[in-house]
Structure 1
């Protein structure tokens, strides 16, 4: 039985000036409700993607997951920085694997999650799914169950079941029963595994997945977690590694970023300019969330235009950037506001300079080169000298300034963002103020294809800028640390 369904969409987006986007549904012919509904099924800034046709730039990872799930006793662990699309990849892969007789099981972790509470939640969701479609099966096998009998009879809850799970062996027994009830090919997504605060509880999962394989239980698990390395999630219990296909998810490649915009615009039969695709790709910093958010706001602006149009204007774009900034969570806004609300008024330009590169880690001298260009492009004002600029950069390590940067442990004068996703927000703020931040191409010279990464997402820079993309300036770095 082929549980993976259709093939991945093979259309490869091309970056061309005035890209014409298809002939499906004219934007201005829709009422507001119809437009909003179609838009919500096209871009996903607020929830994971579940369908393969809306997931761009993850073909290789999906192929790895597919092959891993076919292997007996193998599960998947997707990890990387926050916001790179781990939940979307997990949801899409699970949706492809799960047999058609049920929906896949999706559970999320929290700081107080335990092995017992998580397994109980999986079991409860499995029986809820089955309650809708398998009442005959349940009544015939209920007597053979030890743990789920009460839940099937609607006399118990996940909280009650959690108290009954005392050991890993109990957890295994619950999973056996849940898998039998749920579907032909059940799969579970355990999202945000890193949020489990107790290291002991996280370590219990290493033994759990080993026993799932040893006992040939018919259930697959996809974990997701924020981490720089898998060691930080699994700790000392590396015995689980051989049962896991571990996937470190990088940021989106440039062609995948604008493919999201092209796909959305195609559904509304509108045109997107070449330079605008480049700007969205650059500002998003490779985070799917930002691409989807900007695209959503952009299409709303086009829809609400007083005159009918089939072309996205730069006015639409700049308004969409401001709309996106307003929609971003306070968690990302707060560090930025702390950094710029200082006694001196030059911290915002300094902060923009830190985000002006494709490199994850940057030397202060390179940031200063960016700063000089930014400061000169604004209204005449006094430009900080290199020493004062360096002092500002060091201040961005402090809690009073948002704790935005962290120094490299091994290379003096080199910094990176503490929260990698914040850099995209900084780029949006600069864009809204008329400052275009795009990494200098001279800094990204490795000769690879446009979709390739030079290092992992925890390395020194993100996917390289594709051939054919040019920027309005080049910079030289003449300053010494």
Structure 2
């Protein structure tokens, strides 16, 4: 539907269904580039006693994948409402008893809504749960009554009995649990759920790279977990988000603008969704009919996106660039050549720094020694910290990988070109953008270093 004929409330509703920078994607049609992972999760959930662990960098879309997979699973169950999966966020003080108690509270409440899915008797009187089809309060504070894992298993069995299909529980940021006692309980809970064939399915998410980082030496639970690594978004998945969102409102967007969005997002869906959200708001505010995105619209949206970034994400950058010498911003931009995992030497950063400074003719160019000193400062707390030491001596990587996208946004807002090989990269990506129109395959080929 065209932007200019939408009322404000309709626009807001449709906008936040399509682009979701502040909450997870919930529907498969809006989750780009994750078809393989969704299929693998579905297959894992069909296996008796198997659960799923999604891991990857912060911001790559783990929560969106988990929420979409849970929604799709519930949607495919008879009489199930896709919005009734259980969703739990972990914190450093989370306990397994608290987690299980929270599951029971949510499941008992939601089962009242799913009258078709609940067993047909008017009341279900179980050891843990007293359930009736009215709005009476839950009679038991489950967490306080749980004394051991046997209690947890019995409670989850009763939760299972309220439904005619396997219940899905999404446990977000499970790696936040650091207490060794709770980690051991989690490992044992997963093992016992499988051994006793309790039909409650878990989808865990975490930034840890391996199960060892979460379960430590408690590897006995590993056979109950299907591990799914979530990489950053492929190039055409990034621009598909933009194209599909604009197409929904009958607005055309050029491939070159989509390529810019794909580049500066650094593969993090959060940045793509945020830029597109700001772009659509800009277009909606134009009084005349809008049928095409102009470059001026794009740059205004990038500025809006920069201003809309949370303080938590922008803090390291602002801490680095607000130094007394006032020459750190260009240095930080030059560090973007530091690849996420490989690392890069200062000498290569300096080459890119001179390329950036050639675009800012009015500013003094730091000599090599002063530039090197600035880069080394970026490892210190009072300068962000932006960087960390790489695997090899003299190499540097980004301390917080997702920060790279914010740095790109700041440079893009000032129309700074960051990469010497940018022209070659754009030509290559323009070909891929055209090819993706004719193919359902998502391109994962690497762009030049620094992109």
| TM-score of the alignment, normalized to the shorter chain, above 0.5 | yes
Shift of the 358–197 alpha-carbon distance from structure 1 to 2, 3 Å rule, reads closer
1:208 equivalent in alignment to 2:183: no
**Residues 110 and 195 of structure 1 are in contact (CA less than 8 Å); yes or no, is this contact kept in structure 2?**
yes
Shift of the 439–82 alpha-carbon distance from structure 1 to 2, 3 Å rule, reads farther
Which stretch of structure 1 is more off in the superposition, 295-304 or 177-186?
A: 177-186
Aligned mates of 1:438, 1:281 — CA distance in 2: 15
Extract unaligned runs of 5+ from structure 2.
426-430, 434-442
Aligned mates of 1:208, 1:347 — CA distance in 2: 50
How far has the Cα of 1:359 moved from its partner? 5.0
1:421 equivalent in alignment to 2:402: yes
Which stretch of structure 1 is more off in the superposition, 271-280 or 378-387?
A: 378-387
1:176 equivalent in alignment to 2:152: no
Shift of the 225–313 alpha-carbon distance from structure 1 to 2, 3 Å rule, reads same
Aligned mates of 2:419, 2:243 — CA distance in 1: 20
**Residues 450 and 465 of structure 1 are in contact (CA less than 8 Å); yes or no, is this contact kept in structure 2?**
no
Aligned mates of 1:165, 1:422 — CA distance in 2: 41
1, 15, 19: which one aligns with 1:43:
19
Trace 1:15-30 onto structure 2 (pairs within 5 A).
25-30=1-6
1:384 equivalent in alignment to 2:366: yes
| Partner SS, residue 103 of structure 2 | helix
Aligned mates of 2:242, 2:194 — CA distance in 1: 41
TM-score, scaled to structure 2: 0.89
Aligned mates of 2:313, 2:181 — CA distance in 1: 30
**Residues 27 and 303 of structure 1 are in contact (CA less than 8 Å); yes or no, is this contact kept in structure 2?**
yes
- Who is 2:80 aligned against? 101
Aligned mates of 2:174, 2:90 — CA distance in 1: 6
How far has the Cα of 1:414 moved from its partner? 1.1
Trace 1:348-367 onto structure 2 (pairs within 5 A).
348-356=329-337, 359-360=340-341, 361-367=343-349
| Partner SS, residue 124 of structure 2 | helix
- Who is 1:164 aligned against? 145
- Who is 1:375 aligned against? 357
Aligned mates of 1:396, 1:315 — CA distance in 2: 33
| Partner SS, residue 286 of structure 2 | coil
| Partner SS, residue 142 of structure 1 | strand
Extract unaligned runs of 5+ from structure 1.
1-24, 444-448, 452-461, 476-481
| Partner SS, residue 245 of structure 1 | strand
**Residues 106 and 190 of structure 1 are in contact (CA less than 8 Å); yes or no, is this contact kept in structure 2?**
yes
- Who is 1:236 aligned against? 217
- Who is 1:87 aligned against? 63
- Who is 2:297 aligned against? 316
Offset from partner CA, 1:153-173 (integer Å, 9 cap, x none): 945467x21011111111111
**Residues 211 and 222 of structure 2 are in contact (CA less than 8 Å); yes or no, is this contact kept in structure 1?**
no
**Residues 79 and 230 of structure 1 are in contact (CA less than 8 Å); yes or no, is this contact kept in structure 2?**
no
Which stretch of structure 1 is more off in the superposition, 146-155 or 175-184?
A: 146-155
Aligned mates of 2:297, 2:417 — CA distance in 1: 16
Aligned mates of 1:182, 1:79 — CA distance in 2: 29
Trace 1:42-61 onto structure 2 (pairs within 5 A).
42-61=18-37
Give the number of aligned pairs: 428
Trace 1:105-116 onto structure 2 (pairs within 5 A).
105-116=86-97
Which stretch of structure 1 is more off in the superposition, 168-177 or 304-313?
A: 304-313
Shift of the 339–109 alpha-carbon distance from structure 1 to 2, 3 Å rule, reads same
Aligned mates of 1:261, 1:71 — CA distance in 2: 36
1:296 equivalent in alignment to 2:272: no
- Who is 1:16 aligned against? none
1:330 equivalent in alignment to 2:306: no
How far has the Cα of 1:104 moved from its partner? 1.2
How far has the Cα of 1:140 moved from its partner? 5.2
Aligned mates of 2:419, 2:203 — CA distance in 1: 35
How far has the Cα of 1:308 moved from its partner? 2.0
**Residues 89 and 172 of structure 2 are in contact (CA less than 8 Å); yes or no, is this contact kept in structure 1?**
yes
Q: CA RMSD in A?
A: 2.6
| Partner SS, residue 190 of structure 2 | helix
**Residues 97 and 152 of structure 2 are in contact (CA less than 8 Å); yes or no, is this contact kept in structure 1?**
yes
Shift of the 50–42 alpha-carbon distance from structure 1 to 2, 3 Å rule, reads same
- Who is 1:31 aligned against? 7
List structure 1 runs of 4+ shifted beyond 6 angstroms. Answer: 150-153
How far has the Cα of 1:365 moved from its partner? 1.8
| Partner SS, residue 361 of structure 2 | coil
Which stretch of structure 1 is more off in the superposition, 292-301 or 145-154?
A: 145-154
| Partner SS, residue 28 of structure 1 | helix
Offset from partner CA, 1:64-89 (integer Å, 9 cap, x none): 11111111111100011111000000
- Who is 2:169 aligned against? 188
How far has the Cα of 1:108 moved from its partner? 1.3
Aligned mates of 2:376, 2:185 — CA distance in 1: 40
- Who is 2:235 aligned against? 254
How far has the Cα of 1:63 moved from its partner? 1.3
**Residues 340 and 348 of structure 1 are in contact (CA less than 8 Å); yes or no, is this contact kept in structure 2?**
yes
| Partner SS, residue 170 of structure 2 | strand
Aligned mates of 2:288, 2:96 — CA distance in 1: 57
Aligned mates of 2:416, 2:164 — CA distance in 1: 53
